[in-house]
Each structure stands twice: as C-alpha cells, then as structure tokens.
C-alpha cells in the first residue's frame, strides 16, 4: 500500500486541467448496457473505480472495442456483444458500490438483473431501498436472495408511471440514474418526482438523449421520460469533475496560492464557489489559454509570476463566477459554463463560515472534508453540518492529530481556527476524507504522511503528480519501505 509523504507549507501556483468526472462517468459507462451498438465516451478519468466498472461491464458482455484513429487516453468504446450473463457479483460490488448503476440498464434491456446488494461503507449505511422502490413502481419484480438483488421484468414489460423518489435524506443520485435508465425503455411516460438534481444526472440524461431516449427536466426535481422501444449507440464527452475542481480550489486557498483551473465546471459549483468566497477565497473567471500553450507551461511557477501575465494577456473577465457573479460565457472560458477557466487566489486571512451539506445545488457532501480542512485555518469559529451522510467525519479525528481544534456533536462539527497545522501520520478510509488530509498536509508545518492512499486513487487521477506540478512537495512511497526507513532512522 502507498503513502503520500508531504512537506507542507509551500504555496501552490500554476495551472491544472480538471479531468472528466468520476461520478458522471460511472453511470454513463453502465448505460452502454442499454444498447448493442457501440457507445464511445471521451474524457473518462483513469481511476480505480472506472477500471472496476469496465471490468464489471466486460463480465456482463459489454467489452471494450478497438477505436482505431479515435484511440487515445481517456476514450472508452464499449459494445455489448453477449447478453447472457446479467450478474454483478459480490466480488466486484464490494470493491465499488457504483456497481449498482448496472441494475436499471440490465433490467430494462435484458429483462433480468442479479446485482449483489452493496453493503454499508465507511461513510455510512447507504441503503438502496429507493432504487428498488423506483424500479418496483415501473413494475419490476424484485426479490433478495443470498445477498443479491434479483430483478425481473413482468410479462407485460416495464410500464411508465409517476414515482416519488425521495427518502429521509432527500433525493438519491444513483437511484435517479437507475430509474431514468429503466424508464427510458419502459412503455409510456414516467415522471420522477424528487429526482436528484446533481449535474451528473444531467450528464447521463444528455448521453441517453443522444442514444435516442426522450427525457426532459433532468437537473430539476421532476424528470419526465417517454419510453422508447430501443436505444442506439452514441459518442459523448463526460463533464469535468466538480469535486476534483473544488479540491484543487481548496488546495490553492489552503496554501495561499495562485492557481488556474482549466476545464472547470463552474455552473455546477455555485455553492462551493459561494462558500469559498465567503471564506475569503477569490474565484475569478479568466480567459483560457490555447491548448498548445497550456500543454507546454512549466510546472510550479512562482506566485505572482507568469500565471498572471498569461491570463491577463487574454484579459481577465467578469470577476467572481459564483454567488451572483455574471456567470455568463463572456471572453473568459468560452460559452460552455461547464468548461470554464478560473483563477483562484486568497487574501492572507481566511474567514470562518458556517456551511451545511445538501443535495445539489447545495454544498456537496463530497467537498465537506476538504472544506473543513480549510476552515481549520480560518479566523474564528466555523460550523460544518453534514446532512447527506451523517457519519461522514472520518477526517475529524485525523485533523485533530494535526493540531486542528474540532468538536463533533452528532452531524455537526465546530471548528476553531488555528494559526498552523502540524504534520503528522494520518489515515482515513474514505476517498474525500483522504483528500481533506492531503490538503491539510499541504498547509501544515513539517511532514505529513497520508497512509493508504488507495482510497484517494479511487477518485483522483495522479493527484501527487498534479500537485507536484503546482509546486507541492509530495511523494508516493511504499508503506513498508517508509516504515523500514523510519525504523532505521530511530535505531
């Protein structure tokens, strides 16, 4: 297992491109099960969860096919050639909960699905009752056998209906994607009320529409789907990852850095940008560089150096992009509000803020740990309340080990800002908690070792290389080698 060794206290500066979204790509790849024609997806990030999904799809008869001239990094071309195996087994589901994304597509296309029931995980219980409620409303016959969900289409086929998909904690993202996929091939009209509004749901809907589905309202709590008899192939570019973008924004903020993010989905990030600005972080839309220039930029340029002149050469625009900023296309970043170019800078003093995680468009739970790391260094008391996964606080005890002052009460953490964090060995068995610890390590005095970074590798591609290119001192080392070195140093 690998560990990140971080020597903190360096300001990050330079330019980074935001990759395609993991959470958009996972249900999008699974949607290839809905057709026997090729589905080509661009900008798929190279992550462990994605590799697991591709492995699962191959087991389900939907393998990768040659792309010829199109072949390049980040492009995945899938085609279903064998529909005889519709079983997503526990061995894969236990490594990746998003395997549940195959349930709706398998059921709708093949009439039968057997998907191992995902158990709880380090961030909570994570039931799938809403997925099952939605599919049952379409007429699916669902039973549980030996830890597996068995779903069958009845004799008359799936039938559209009006479904309330809300639960105790609000809407469900993957539940909405599962029902949307199944309803695309059901007879008649399905209305999903209390649908998840997350941008990743919209991204899937856009792909399904390209495949021939009739969907309107994605991105709102009411999605309307007119069923069609079949779906075809399509080519689609996954949206950029809003959580990765938020993590890099916080990396800039926590190191008092100056960073430009290309391919940044600002319109999907209004809440995090609003709260970053409330904490004293500036997020400004700037004009993008020509790709060729961006690709040849030297790594880790010093603060206030060429990043300024490069962006101002093409005129910085409209100021703030969030919380009442213009948000328009303008000269900076072209017309696509999901693929803009922003510059992140800070004033030296961070302000305390109170934030509560909510379903989109509220503040995302997937940025809570990273934002908490930032608030550890803010002036005064902040309050962070987690409303999606109420036990998603694995980072709290670890941040405390680094000198943060945190008090947890139920689903709320009170943070008293400190002047400095101090490097320490830390570990968290959750992807975003690990990201929060890496951010804390970047700001801390001394050396932080973030253990078991395979959690981080599930959601961030080459995180250490990209942070290094921005000036961070961060190395990936083998845990055993590090332990041997430490023993040698002590003896």
Cα 405 to chain centroid distance, Å, stands at: 28
With CB under 6 A as the rule, give the number of residues binding ligand EPU.
26
Minimum gap (Å) between residue 130 Cβ and ligand EPU: 3
Cα distances from 315 to residues 217, 265, 335, 423, in angstroms, run 36, 20, 16, 39
Minimum gap (Å) between residue 419 Cβ and ligand EPU: 30
Catalytic residues: 121
Q: Is 362 near ligand EPU (CB under 6 A)? A: no
* Contact (CB, 8 A) for 39 and 489: no
Question: What gap in Å lies between CA 424 and CA 134, rounded to an integer?
Answer: 46
Minimum gap (Å) between residue 44 Cβ and ligand EPU: 14
DSSP state of 320: B
End-to-end CA distance of the chain: 24
Q: Is 182 near ligand EPU (CB under 6 A)? A: no
Give the residue, chosen from 9, 74, 111, 127, that forms a contact with ligand EPU under the rule CB under 6 A: 127
Q: Where are the beta strands (DSSP E) in 102-237?
A: 112-116, 141-145, 148-152, 162-164, 189-193, 214-216, 222-226, 234-237
- The torsion region of residue 101 among left (phi > 0), alpha (psi -120 to 50) and beta comes to alpha
Q: Which is nearer to ligand EPU, 29 or 225 (CB)?
A: 29
Binding part of the chain for ligand EPU, among 50-58, 122-130, 393-401, 439-447 by CB under 6 A, reads 122-130
Q: Where are the beta strands (DSSP E) in 403-472?
A: 405-409, 412-416, 425-427, 447-451
Q: Which is nearer to ligand EPU, 311 or 370 (CB)?
A: 370
Minimum gap (Å) between residue 196 Cβ and ligand EPU: 6
Minimum gap (Å) between residue 387 Cβ and ligand EPU: 8
Q: Is 356 near ligand EPU (CB under 6 A)? A: no
Question: What gap in Å lies between CA 417 and CA 395, rounded to an integer?
Answer: 16
Binding part of the chain for ligand EPU, among 9-17, 173-181, 230-238, 253-261 by CB under 6 A, reads 173-181
- Burial of 491 by CB count in 10 Å (0-12 exposed, 13-18 middle, 19+ buried)? exposed
One character per residue 63-92, x = contact with ligand EPU (rule: CB under 6 A):
------------------------------
* Contact (CB, 8 A) for 58 and 82: no
Residue 68 CB neighbour total at 10 angstroms: 7
Q: Is 126 near ligand EPU (CB under 6 A)? A: yes
Q: Which is nearer to ligand EPU, 311 or 365 (CB)?
A: 365
Question: What gap in Å lies between CA 42 and CA 358, rounded to an integer?
Answer: 29
Binding part of the chain for ligand EPU, among 35-43, 124-132, 395-403, 479-487 by CB under 6 A, reads 124-132
- The torsion region of residue 65 among left (phi > 0), alpha (psi -120 to 50) and beta comes to beta
One character per residue 265-304, x = contact with ligand EPU (rule: CB under 6 A):
----------------------------------------
* Contact (CB, 8 A) for 400 and 424: no
Residue 431 CB neighbour total at 10 angstroms: 25
Q: Which residue has the tokens 């909570």?
A: 124
Minimum gap (Å) between residue 62 Cβ and ligand EPU: 18
DSSP state of 355: E
- Burial of 143 by CB count in 10 Å (0-12 exposed, 13-18 middle, 19+ buried)? exposed
Minimum gap (Å) between residue 89 Cβ and ligand EPU: 19
Give the residue, chosen from 167, 330, 337, 361, that forms a contact with ligand EPU under the rule CB under 6 A: 167
Minimum gap (Å) between residue 122 Cβ and ligand EPU: 10
Binding part of the chain for ligand EPU, among 119-127, 245-253, 282-290, 400-408 by CB under 6 A, reads 119-127
Q: Is 174 near ligand EPU (CB under 6 A)? A: yes
Question: What gap in Å lies between CA 407 and CA 116, rounded to an integer?
Answer: 37
Touching ligand EPU, residues 306-345 (CB under 6 A): none
Touching ligand EPU, residues 425-464 (CB under 6 A): 431-432, 459
Q: Which is nearer to ligand EPU, 172 or 469 (CB)?
A: 172
Give the residue, chosen from 79, 122, 161, 169, that forms a contact with ligand EPU under the rule CB under 6 A: 169
Binding part of the chain for ligand EPU, among 164-172, 228-236, 421-429, 442-450 by CB under 6 A, reads 164-172
Give the residue, chosen from 256, 285, 365, 448, that forms a contact with ligand EPU under the rule CB under 6 A: 365
* Contact (CB, 8 A) for 263 and 309: no
Question: What gap in Å lies between CA 3 and CA 325, rounded to an integer?
Answer: 40
Q: Which is nearer to ligand EPU, 4 or 363 (CB)?
A: 363
Q: 3-state class of 253 per DSSP?
A: helix
Angle at 278 between CA 274 and CA 283, to 5 degrees: 55
Give the residue, chosen from 104, 139, 175, 257, that forms a contact with ligand EPU under the rule CB under 6 A: 175
One character per residue 19-58, x = contact with ligand EPU (rule: CB under 6 A):
----x--x--------------------------------
Q: 3-state class of 307 per DSSP?
A: helix
Binding part of the chain for ligand EPU, among 163-171, 210-218, 295-303, 325-333 by CB under 6 A, reads 163-171
Q: Which residues bind ligand EPU (CB under 6 A)?
A: 23, 26, 98, 124, 126-131, 167-169, 172-175, 196, 200, 365-366, 388-389, 431-432, 459
């Amino acid at each position: 297992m690998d560990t990140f060794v971080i020597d903190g206290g360096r300001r990050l500066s330079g330019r980074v491109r935001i990759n395609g979204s993991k959470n958009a790509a996972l249900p999008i790849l699974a949607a290839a099960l809905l057709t026997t024609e090729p589905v080509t997806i661009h900008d798929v990030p190279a992550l462990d969860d994605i590799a697991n999904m591709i492995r699962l799809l191959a087991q389900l008869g939907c393998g990768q096919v040659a792309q010829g001239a199109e072949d390049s990094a980040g492009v995945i071309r899938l085609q279903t050639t064998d529909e005889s195996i519709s079983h997503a087994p526990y061995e894969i589901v236990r490594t990746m909960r998003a395997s549940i994304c195959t349930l709706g597509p398998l059921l709708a296309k093949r009439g039968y699905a057997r998907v191992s029931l995902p158990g709880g995980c380090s961030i909570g219980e994570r039931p799938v009752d809403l997925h099952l409620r939605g599919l049952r409303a379409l007429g699916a016959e669902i039973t549980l056998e030996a830890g597996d969900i068995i779903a069958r289409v009845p004799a008359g086929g799936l039938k559209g209906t009006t479904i309330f998909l809300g639960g105790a904690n609000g809407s469900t993202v993957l539940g909405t994607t599962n029902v949307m996929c199944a309803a695309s091939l059901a007879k008649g009209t399905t209305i999903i009320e209390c649908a998840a509004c997350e941008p990743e749901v919209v991204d899937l809907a856009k792909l399904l529409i390209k495949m021939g589905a009739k969907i309107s309202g994605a991105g709102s709590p009411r999605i309307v789907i007119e069923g069609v008899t079949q779906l075809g192939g399509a080519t689609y570019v996954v949206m950029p990852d809003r959580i990765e973008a938020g993590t890099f924004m916080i990396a800039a903020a926590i190191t008092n850095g100056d960073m430009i993010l290309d391919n940044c989905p600002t319109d999907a990030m209004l809440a995090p940008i609003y709260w970053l600005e409330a904490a004293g972080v500036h997020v400004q839309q700037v004009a993008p560089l020509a790709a060729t220039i961006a690709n040849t930029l030297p790594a880790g340029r010093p603060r206030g150096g060429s990043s300024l002149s490069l962006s101002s050469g093409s005129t910085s625009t409209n100021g703030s992009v969030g919380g009442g900023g213009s948000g328009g296309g303008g000269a900076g970043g072209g017309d696509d509000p999901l693929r803009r170019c922003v510059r992140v800078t800070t004033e030296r003093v961070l302000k305390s803020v109170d934030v509560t995680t909510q379903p989109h468009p509220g503040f995302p739970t997937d940025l809570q740990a990273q934002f908490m790391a930032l608030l550890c260094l803010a002036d005064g008391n902040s309050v962070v309340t987690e409303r999606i996964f109420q036990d998603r606080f694995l980072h709290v005890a670890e941040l405390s080990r680094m000198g943060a002052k945190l008090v947890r009460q139920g689903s709320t953490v009170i943070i008293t800002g400190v002047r400095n964090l101090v490097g320490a060995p830390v570990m968290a068995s959750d992807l975003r908690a690990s990201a929060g610890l890496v951010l804390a390590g970047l700001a801390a005095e001394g050396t932080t070792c973030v253990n078991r970074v395979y959690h981080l590798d599930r959601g961030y591609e080459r995180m250490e290389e990209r942070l290094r290119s921005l000036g961070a001192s961060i190395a990936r080392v083998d845990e055993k080698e590090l332990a041997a070195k430490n023993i040698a140093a002590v003896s």
